[in-house]
Chain A
């Protein structure tokens, strides 16, 4: 335990260094203009990073699998579907687009409902093997993506322009007015979720054991699924989809900490997530001087890591 707290402090220091570098390195022009902008971006990255880390670790505990993440089950693609449908049926001048709060709220509610229907369908009885679920998740993502393209092609060209600017959100283009509301959602989820952590530790032992130890298993699974969909929905609505981040940070955290304690795993995964986002973005922008967004790189690295993980998993299974 002592060792793990040292590791956490170590990660926290790296995260702070990354944040400081990102905030102060080579700041040009008006400091009073550039600095708040950078702080906004850092805030967005911290919120997104922690939300994704929390959602993934808890989701993986209740699904008993370290390869599944809510993003990979097609939950992010739902964001694009919601936005496209709003633009398609209501138009860019409608209240659902003009009011960012309403739009944000609507996206989150739709994504959570979608996620719950999906989980209900996929996890009904434990008969579906993990690889089938993963493949199904990917195909559902493709299906939703193609459906979006479908609507986008027949949408009015003017609407299409403004829709595009919504879908390609990145850390360079944070919707500031949503930051506060995201912080509130995140804070509320953490306070609510804090009480679940102890039960989650027990649930790592498996369903039967957890029930024997007095955990109301199915209720907690439902709570966690709702909570993790809300968090993923919030982060996606804030900056757009980053599919592989959750997978990378959760698995790194399992390897790095080798514990079942969710308090350690979640904090650790969040710190790794912040380092990956802030540090990664810093490297991309200032060291390699590339224009690529960090999500392209995360998808590339995440894809390789994913193949490594499933190959390792398959050795265990076969």
Chain B
């Protein structure tokens, strides 16, 4: 697949996304700058589109970085407990620091996500048997354990329902003023691109990287921080979007190989297009209502992951 095809697909899907919704807006309505429809368009549709593109691209990149650094095709924020750790951060801040503001919540969530990932990487280093299937298995269980802690705390503090609502991945609440946090992911994606070659080298192993004069630890930590920043902003703005970070980089590497500098642009556009497609589906199936997008992503994503597991095991081993 060529990059321009993905760009065209993203543009077409963006256009569809802008003009699908409970309120019928036609492109011709936009000619009148002062109309109500124009206001809805600017306050709701455009922010939603931006949020989807940023979240899709961001999750795709996060998965790509994690897969490169851990040298495992099946590692991603979903299969390493990162998203669950970010969630635990929010739950802790909700329960123990009831008065903290939005900024502090972000910091809590970010810190937990980062610690969660570092523990996971440590866990990986300590195991000898790095089978491609074995690592995500541990990662998912690790995430489940963190999830059980969140549920336990939330249940005891009686905030389970508000926590659940908080993480129901949905773009319905994304209106102007409520999604701008996602722009934090933009410099992170840009940095990821700048450091792409170093991530590729670091992905070849600590010894190899050191021989090439690369500060392995610094690159590793930078990668983890970037993933934590992106995951946190996405989780906080639109909730948990599962499997996207896992399948998008894998689909890209199927036809592009593993040179990050080349695959990053593809991952960005495929991630955005994939999430746009899921979001459009979520809005059309029960029109004029909508299904939370993370449900749609989970159904499609887990089905694709299963196919990859059984069909693509040979490929993933390469």
User: Chain A interface (Cβ within 8 Å of chain B)?
Assistant: 129, 131-132, 134-136, 138-140, 142-143, 145-147, 149-150, 153-154, 290-292, 296-297, 299-300, 303-304, 306-307, 310-311, 314-315, 317-318
Q: Does B201 contact A (CB under 8 A)?
A: no
Contact with A along B270-300 (1 / 0, CB 8 A): 0000000000000001100101100110110
Contact with A along B122-142 (1 / 0, CB 8 A): 000001110101101110111
**Stretch from B14-22, B45-53, B147-155, B227-235 forming part of the interface with A:** B147-155
Residue ID in chain B nearest A136 by CB atoms: B309
Docked complex Cα distance between A129 and B242 (Å): 25
155-187 of chain B: CB within 8 A of chain A: 155-156
Docked complex Cα distance between A147 and B291 (Å): 11
Docked complex Cα distance between A145 and B301 (Å): 13
Q: Is the CB of B309 within 8 A of A132?
A: yes
Q: Is the CB of A291 within 8 A of B155?
A: yes
Q: Is the CB of B148 within 8 A of A303?
A: yes
Q: Is the CB of B285 within 8 A of A138?
A: no
Q: Is the CB of A139 within 8 A of B306?
A: yes
Docked complex Cα distance between A309 and B229 (Å): 33
User: Chain B interface (Cβ within 8 Å of chain A)?
Assistant: 127-129, 131, 133-134, 136-138, 140-142, 144-145, 148-149, 151-152, 155-156, 242, 285-286, 289, 291-292, 295-296, 298-299, 302-303, 305-306, 309-310, 313
Docked complex Cα distance between A129 and B316 (Å): 15
Residue ID in chain B nearest A67 by CB atoms: B137
Contact of B291 (CB < 8 Å), options: A143, A150, A290, A304: A150
Q: Is the CB of B128 within 8 A of A303?
A: no
Residues in chain B near residue A315, CB distance under 8 A: 128-129
Known: A142-B302, A311-B127. A296 touches B138 (CB 8 A): no
Residues in chain A near residue B299, CB distance under 8 A: 143, 146-147, 150
6 tightest CB-CB pairs across the interface, nearest first?
A318-B129, A146-B298, A314-B129, A303-B145, A300-B148, A143-B302
Docked complex Cα distance between A318 and B292 (Å): 42
Residues in chain B near residue A154, CB distance under 8 A: 285-286, 289, 291
**8 A-B pairs whose Cβ atoms sit less than 8 Å apart in the complex:** A140-B306, A149-B298, A153-B291, A292-B152, A296-B148, A299-B148, A300-B149, A314-B134
7 more contacts with CB within 8 A, not counting A291-B155, A300-B145, are A142-B242, A291-B156, A306-B141, A307-B142, A307-B145, A310-B137, A310-B138
Residues in chain B near residue A153, CB distance under 8 A: 286, 291-292, 295
Q: Is the CB of B313 within 8 A of A132?
A: yes
| Max chain A Cβ within 10 angstroms of own Cβ: one of B127, B129, B137 | B137
Docked complex Cα distance between A306 and B242 (Å): 22
Residues in chain B near residue A134, CB distance under 8 A: 137
Number of A-B contacts (CB under 8 A): 100
Docked complex Cα distance between A296 and B291 (Å): 27
Docked complex Cα distance between A131 and B74 (Å): 13
Residues in chain A near residue B149, CB distance under 8 A: 300
Residues in chain A near residue B302, CB distance under 8 A: 139-140, 142-143, 146
Q: Is the CB of B128 within 8 A of A297?
A: no
Residue ID in chain A nearest B126 by CB atoms: A311
Docked complex Cα distance between A132 and B145 (Å): 20
* Majority SS at the chain B contact face: helix
Residues in chain B near residue A131, CB distance under 8 A: 131, 133-134, 137
Contact of A136 (CB < 8 Å), options: B148, B298, B306: B306
Docked complex Cα distance between A314 and B155 (Å): 34
Docked complex Cα distance between A141 and B242 (Å): 14
Q: Is the CB of A150 within 8 A of B296?
A: yes
Known: A143-B302, A146-B298. A135 touches B291 (CB 8 A): no
A118: min CB distance to chain B, Å: 12
Docked complex Cα distance between A129 and B285 (Å): 38
Known: A153-B291, A290-B156. A138 touches B151 (CB 8 A): no
Docked complex Cα distance between A120 and B138 (Å): 25
Residues in chain B near residue A318, CB distance under 8 A: 128-129
Known: A131-B131, A303-B148, A314-B128. A143 touches B137 (CB 8 A): no
Docked complex Cα distance between A311 and B128 (Å): 9
Docked complex Cα distance between A129 and B131 (Å): 11
Docked complex Cα distance between A259 and B128 (Å): 29
Residue ID in chain B nearest A140 by CB atoms: B306
Residues in chain A near residue B289, CB distance under 8 A: 154
Docked complex Cα distance between A231 and B28 (Å): 62
Residue ID in chain B nearest A152 by CB atoms: B295
A286: min CB distance to chain B, Å: 16
Q: Is the CB of B151 within 8 A of A143?
A: no
Residues in chain B near residue A143, CB distance under 8 A: 298-299, 302-303, 306
Q: Is the CB of A296 within 8 A of B295?
A: no
Residues in chain A near residue B140, CB distance under 8 A: 135, 138
Q: Is the CB of A142 within 8 A of B128?
A: no
Q: Is the CB of B310 within 8 A of A136?
A: yes
Q: Is the CB of B286 within 8 A of A310?
A: no
Residue ID in chain B nearest A131 by CB atoms: B133
Docked complex Cα distance between A208 and B15 (Å): 62
Docked complex Cα distance between A67 and B27 (Å): 57
Residue ID in chain A nearest B303 by CB atoms: A143
| Max chain B Cβ within 10 angstroms of own Cβ: one of A134, A140, A146 | A146
Q: Is the CB of B129 within 8 A of A317?
A: yes
Contact of B152 (CB < 8 Å), options: A129, A135, A296: A296
Residues in chain A near residue B152, CB distance under 8 A: 292, 296-297, 300
Docked complex Cα distance between A303 and B147 (Å): 10
Q: Is the CB of A149 within 8 A of B295?
A: yes
Docked complex Cα distance between A5 and B136 (Å): 41
